[in-house]
Homo-oligomer: A and B are copies of this chain.
Amino acid sequence: MRKLFSFLFASLDGYHETHDHDIHWQDVDDEFDAFDLAQLDEAGAILLGRVTYEGFAEFWSTPAAHEADPIRAKRLNALPKVVVSRTLREAQWENTTIIGADADVELRKLKEQPGKDIQLIGSAKLTGYLIQAGLLDELRVMVSPVLLGGGNPAFPVSGQVSMELLRSRQFSNGNMLLVYRPHASGTAAEPAV
């Protein structure tokens, strides 16, 4: 069975973004860029929540994206995309599958398909859901050297989830990559995405 891992940024105080969705505190430099592209190479499919999906689809399918970041644009457009949403009916972006109901069943099926691993990108709510559903194999967090003092939580779970720290990497700009294997906590509501 292939692995499902989630990658997202978080502040040291556990927020994914400010209340007004500001993510400018995330420092992405050349070292991050090389890491991020290598990580994308691990993926045979990418999984996204609806909000992240719509942002990605809007940008990465454009000629501007191909010009600004041709390597990443080519890969993101070519990779199969899976978006979890109960409201999205039709996907404009190429190679997209929508999971509208029975997310846990459909995602289990997706993991059982042959191929490279599945990468969930930047979707905090979906990450929280997958942790509690026992479907997330790795939680990869880039902890930024910042306190936000408030915002939308990076790991919205209800109740305590213990994890195993698999590895860590300190980046020269102060970002800290922490990679965990979450232990299933047993309870998970369907994701509200």
* Residues of A bordering B, CB below 8 Å: 10-15, 18, 25, 131, 141, 143, 145-150, 153-165, 167-168, 170, 174-176, 178, 180, 182
Contacts and interface: CB of A to CB of B under 8 A. Distances in A.
A146 B163 contact: yes
Nearest to A141: B12
Contact of A12 (B18, B158, B170, B180): B180
B162 A157 contact: no
Please list the 9 inter-chain residue pairs (A to B) with the smallest Cβ-Cβ separation, ordered nearest first. A14-B14, A165-B174, A13-B14, A147-B161, A145-B163, A149-B157, A145-B165, A13-B155, A168-B170
A174 B175 CA distance: 18
Nearest to A157: B149
- Could you say how many copies of this chain the assembly holds? 2
B148 A160 contact: yes
B149 A158 contact: yes
A165 to B, nearest CB: 4
A13 B128 CA distance: 11
Given A11-B14, A12-B14, 6 more contacts: A13-B14, A25-B160, A131-B147, A146-B162, A164-B174, A167-B170
B170 A176 contact: no
12 contacts: A11-B14, A12-B180, A13-B153, A13-B154, A143-B178, A146-B162, A147-B155, A147-B163, A163-B174, A165-B176, A168-B176, A176-B178
